[in-house]
Structure 1
Amino acid sequence: MQDNTTAFWPKVWWSIVDYKIGIIPLPIFLILFAVIAGFALTGKVPSDILMSIVLLSMGGFTCAELGKRIPIIRNIGAAAIFATFIPSYLAFHQFLPASILDSVREFTKDSNFLYLFIACIIVGSILGMDRAVLIKGFLKIFIPLAAGSVAGAIVGTLVGVLLGLGAYHTFFFVVVPIMAGGIGEGAIPLSIGYAQILHQPQGDLFAQVLPPVMLGSLTAILLAGTLNYVGKKYPHLTGEGRLQPGENEELEGEEEAAEARVDTATIGAAVVTAVTLYLIGALAQRLLDFPAPVVMLMIAVALKLTRAVSPSLQVGAFHVYKFFSTAVTYPLLFAIGVAMTPWDKLVAAFTLTYVITIVSVVVTIMTTAFFVGGWLKMYPIDTAIVTACHSGQGGTGDVAILTAANRMQLMPFAQIATRIGGALTVTVVLIVLTQIG
């Protein structure tokens, strides 16, 4: 009896505790399930950070674990897709208690959770890059991005015409929304511009341009996951998160000494640094109407190139990046699914002609970037994945696409594809529509 008790406690129990759903130990997961259910039964689930940490973690990692365990599709980004679209489906059909949905929506709306994540990912990944390669990558990525956009617009419009959608409708209401940079920075300003030029209600136009954004992002997630799988089979085509050969961590020579100086205070300093850069960007957006993530990105690049950040703080920023990419990605996707991904709009795009047209646009963008990237001596798969973010759902799409591809370190380049590429697309298209509208 004593031997059996000793055998179970503590070693068997420890093995149970060490079994995790995502990052959550199984006993803690079960306890939290009961606690959240208790709150839900009272009719009010708090939307503060304490409840949100556990609620989003449980939802996000549960959906991701389901995706990781389904054969075949687990290799093409199912974890990211499940973590985003299962909660969207559950929320739309109200299969989750209203108190839980309200808690997630309130927290996501009020906390600016998405931009905390993007700030820490961008600053951490940039500060870990080689300075010389960083600037080359930023300059080079515009070429496959531009080539893919032009090719995608031409092919997508031709496919739409062949399927009977008409050139005008296909280009302005299917192709352009896909490449507009998401919802907040793309579909909304695009629909406002369309409304002013075409003298139609903005709400009606927004309802037309939103479905291609949603389905285009889903297509990009699937293709990015597929490319990650292809990269495992053909490693010479991918840098596993590097854009071009020769990229090495600049900190390799200094990292051992810096690592010894990195403590919890330094990691905390890195978080504050990342948030500070974002807030500078937010202020610039308010004063100059320039996207905050792009301003933050440019400042981070300038700090890296001028060696203004010490090696220890750079390593601290990299630790922050690793923490957010590991522990926060799936909870964030769950929040995005509940609060920012309307299931009905996604389903509305699932007509055969729309699906074929939208898929042709995204496939063409990524295929063009794949071959142009190879021509520029960049890694074709990583270049195509970055360019895929031009077809994503803004910052939320970037997170999902890079998660599916297991290449979160490409976030700085993804932001260029999404923010700058989207802004240029919207601006040019509205100018063209003014001339012909």
Structure 2
Amino acid sequence: MQINSVPDGDHPKNIFQKFMALNVGIVPMPLYLLLLVAYVLLTVTNQMPNDMIGAIGIMTLFSFILEEVGKHIPILNSLGGKVLVVTFLPSYLVYMNWLPKSTTKVVSSFMTNNNFLAVFIALLIVGSIASMNRKTLIQASMRIIVVLLICEVVGPLVGMGVGMLMGLSAYKSYFFIVAPIMAGGVGEGALPLSLGYAAIISMGQQNIFAQILPCVMLGSLVAVIEAGVLKKIGDVKPNLTGNGRLVETDDGNDELGSLSSKSDTADITKMLVSGILAITLYMLGVWVNSIIHLPAPIVLLIVVMAGKMLGWIPDSIQEGGKSLYSLTVKGISPLLLFGVGVAMTPWKSLITVFTNVPMLITIFITVTAIVAAAFFSAKFLGMYPVDTAIAVSCCSGQGGTGALAILAAGDRMNLMPFAQVAVRLGGAITVTMSIFLMRFFA
């Protein structure tokens, strides 16, 4: 918790005043306590509204306090502790039935029916790309694809090798452990992978999906922890990180000036226009997806990146993008991480892998190999190793939800556009190649 600054001579005089001067995340203590009282009253009387207001209230209440807990756990706080606590502790609480049923129901309904994650990704992509240096974007986009392709080779080779050393077959290691990890999440990775496998081998799709889902979940958890480790490496070795940049620009600043040199005061109109642009492009992306089956976030990403590279994005939207990015990271990401933990992270799937040591080791080494390959190839290509490794490690995460947790753990949320490239492009390559190869080895 953070203590608000108080002018000299006006310091709180007693413990109660000091306590009330604290913040829980960004929420002042008096307001947080009022929210807590509202939550308790509605929960006890079974009147919690199953709508957006109820869900956001619950997610605000839990997410910021869990972040504070994660930030104050020794050692873990240096390894993305706040993200681990906000995301995975709620999953455990749901598994143990220790969260009120009304809380679980309201949050799960909101996350499932409102596609809140898509809204977050759309706003974050537009906000981060709009405020990014144009030259940096062009250079980084080309190089990160090279790094991703290297990882697409290194990951499977190392994963199969370790799996075989642990007594697993090459077939089992690749198709049921490595490929699911690198498939790009659940909905656009593990699910189509299981459908493709089921069409080739004599095993039901549900059985296949149940086997590969734990690998996806644990791979994402390992990537989150390693993103925290990478952040720590960047703190100790500043020459290895661009603090959110993949390549060094000529002046070292954003195109509109350093973020720190600008006032934090948001121009509401410009920020809203940037947000409307994100929503509009995402809606168009949904239509494009219905025609050529290209995911809406990728359509949004391509259009915004192209507009930025060609210099078509007005300065007003670029300035608004900075405020939009700040709002999304500070105000939305903690809430979303809690929602992901409650509704999209089945604890049972995670613990399934923990009982299988060969599989556990294979998953850990595979993700580590991907991170290491990205780290060292980035250095060779003139990129910042820490930031590149964090972005590319998202290819071994739980899709969009995994990318969110990984970037939050590494404190590199502005790398979401590049994380989406790693998730979507890397996932598409893995799913396509795996189903193709299955026909020859089944």
TM range (shorter): over 0.9
**Distance verdict in 2 for CA 1:307–1:72, change over 3 Å:** same
Q: Secondary structure at the match of 1:349?
A: helix
Counterpart in the other structure of 1:394: 399
**Aligned pair partner of 1:92 in 90, 95, 99:** 95
Counterpart in the other structure of 1:311: 315
The share of aligned pairs that are identical, in percent, is 41
Between the aligned partners of 1:147 and 1:268, the Cα distance in structure 2 is 39
Give deviations 1:203-248, integer Å, cap 9, x for gaps: 1000011011011000000001001001111000111111012253
* 1:413-432 map, 5 Å: 413-432=418-437
Q: Secondary structure at the match of 2:199?
A: helix
More helix by share: 1
**TM-superposed deviation, 1:381:** 0.9
Counterpart in the other structure of 1:270: 274
Counterpart in the other structure of 1:328: 332
**Aligned pair partner of 2:72 in 56, 69, 73:** 69
Give deviations 1:64-93, integer Å, cap 9, x for gaps: 111100111101101001110000001111
- Whether 1:233 and 2:236 are equivalent positions in the alignment is yes
Greater mean alpha carbon deviation, residues 407-416 or residues 59-68? 59-68
Counterpart in the other structure of 1:3: none
- Whether 1:368 and 2:373 are equivalent positions in the alignment is yes
Between the aligned partners of 1:105 and 1:29, the Cα distance in structure 2 is 22
Q: Secondary structure at the match of 2:319?
A: helix
**Aligned pair partner of 1:27 in 27, 30, 41:** 30
Give the TM-score normalised by structure 1: 0.94
Amino acid across the alignment from 2:331: A
Greater mean alpha carbon deviation, residues 258-267 or residues 390-399? 258-267
Greater mean alpha carbon deviation, residues 97-106 or residues 56-65? 56-65
Q: In structure 1, list runs of 5 or more residues that go unmatched.
A: 1-5
Counterpart in the other structure of 2:439: 434
Between the aligned partners of 1:200 and 1:92, the Cα distance in structure 2 is 28
**Aligned pair partner of 2:344 in 326, 340, 345:** 340
Counterpart in the other structure of 1:285: 289
**Distance verdict in 2 for CA 1:262–1:312, change over 3 Å:** farther
Q: Secondary structure at the match of 1:243?
A: coil
User: Number of matched residues?
Assistant: 431
Between the aligned partners of 2:154 and 2:344, the Cα distance in structure 1 is 29
**TM-superposed deviation, 1:45:** 1.8
**Distance verdict in 2 for CA 1:404–1:260, change over 3 Å:** closer
Give the TM-score normalised by structure 2: 0.93
CA contact 1:87–1:337 (8 Å) conserved in 2: yes
**TM-superposed deviation, 1:177:** 0.4
Counterpart in the other structure of 1:118: 121
Between the aligned partners of 2:229 and 2:187, the Cα distance in structure 1 is 27
Give deviations 1:122-178, integer Å, cap 9, x for gaps: 111001111122111111101111112211111110111111111111110001100
**Distance verdict in 2 for CA 1:138–1:7, change over 3 Å:** closer
Between the aligned partners of 1:323 and 1:265, the Cα distance in structure 2 is 14
**TM-superposed deviation, 1:18:** 4.2
**Distance verdict in 2 for CA 1:254–1:355, change over 3 Å:** closer
**TM-superposed deviation, 1:7:** 7.4
Give deviations 1:404-437, integer Å, cap 9, x for gaps: 0000011000000001110111011111112332
**Distance verdict in 2 for CA 1:73–1:310, change over 3 Å:** same
Amino acid across the alignment from 1:436: F
Between the aligned partners of 2:244 and 2:213, the Cα distance in structure 1 is 30
- Whether 1:204 and 2:212 are equivalent positions in the alignment is no
Between the aligned partners of 1:7 and 1:277, the Cα distance in structure 2 is 50
**TM-superposed deviation, 1:10:** 11
Between the aligned partners of 2:255 and 2:114, the Cα distance in structure 1 is 34
Between the aligned partners of 2:51 and 2:187, the Cα distance in structure 1 is 25
**TM-superposed deviation, 1:253:** 9.3
**TM-superposed deviation, 1:386:** 1.1
**TM-superposed deviation, 1:307:** 2.4
